[in-house]
Amino acid sequence: MKVAVLGAGAIGAYVGAALHRGGTEVHLVARGAHLDAIRSGGVKVLSPRGDFEARTPATDDPAEVGPVDYIFLGLKANSYASAGPLVEPLLHDRTVVIAAQNGIPWWYFHGLKGPYEGRRIESVDPDGSVTEVLALDRAVGCVVYCSTELEGPGLVRHLEGTRFSIGEPGGGVSDRCTAFSEAMIAGGLKCPVEADIREDIWIKLLGNAAFNPISALARATMVEIAQHQGTRAMIRLMMEETLEIAAAVGCHPDISVDKRINGAERVGEHKTSMLQDLEKDKPLELDVILAAVVELADLTDTKAPTLRAVHAVADLLASKIGTGPSLAHAPTSAPAPAARS
């Protein structure tokens, strides 16, 4: 098995190092000082589960890697549409794309039996631009339950969690998912193959869709949001509305809102990824985390007033700092079904 990690940041480098430790041929695609450090000294992982190092090939030019069996996407979802020149050199006829992203993926309705099968979600796949780069039949979903951070070039600190749930858009347990899962497990990670990966997507999104935008708007940590009476009530409403939308598109995750909020409170003084991006003046992942949820509310005639209100303000914030589209240019109704490649 040959794997390329495209976007070998904190999560990507950690996964690449673990796969290498398990005996998989891994190539990391990175840039800048991080790339220089990996080339000279490999990836160093500091973890409560035990520190380790991995000296694996690294480059900023995927053409040097050539076609691979699996691409593990460690890029932010808002960069997928522009990733064509990075992805194309890595592809052969059966290359699988493991997309470790937050929020609603571009392939969400691919292979999903029901009234919305094959429908494109404009917020996450505008004009089919992501599907053009990442063909639907290559996609395997991945929900990350792992926290890492880059402490310096080539140096990853693993904080908690080793679970990377994967699954086919069409459901079931495929050979390609099983093979990748076995490689991850050999490297010391948990990688269950889920028969319905969408349930995992909604369970994680339940927290992200609520806490991420509120944290960016209020510049607040998880525990601050959970312990403030007003924002705690708002988070509850957003989660309840998110579950209503999930049910409307046929997914019924078995999760308690109270349990989800209490769990977030126990995380403590943690800044969400959206707040961290805001502080670093990086693009916000608003489209996949919240705009897509609102689009699905439009599609299913779900009211979701709190989600809509928070999205409107968060969208304004993103547009003012130049990291996102304005609602003035966003669709107000569900897009028509698009052809699939």
Crossing angle of helices 197-218 and 305-320, in 10° steps, is: 60
Contact indicator for 141, 169 with CB cutoff of 8 Å: yes
Closest CA to 324 of 285, 293, 290, 294: 285
Distance CA 305, CA 172 (A): 35
Residue 246: which H helix or E strand, with range? helix 229-248
Verify whether residue 271 is a known catalytic residue. Answer: no
Structure tokens, 311: 């999205």
Could you give the dihedral angle defined by the CA atoms of residues 307, 308, 314 and 315, in that order, rounded to the nearest 10 degrees? 140
Which one of 190, 204, 280, 320 is the catalytic residue?
204
How many angstroms from the chain centroid is the CA of residue 105? 8
Distance CA 164, CA 6 (A): 16
Contact indicator for 206, 143 with CB cutoff of 8 Å: no
How many angstroms from the chain centroid is the CA of residue 231? 25
Residue 59: which H helix or E strand, with range? strand 58-59
Distance CA 75, CA 11 (A): 10
Looking at the annotation, which residues are catalytic? 204
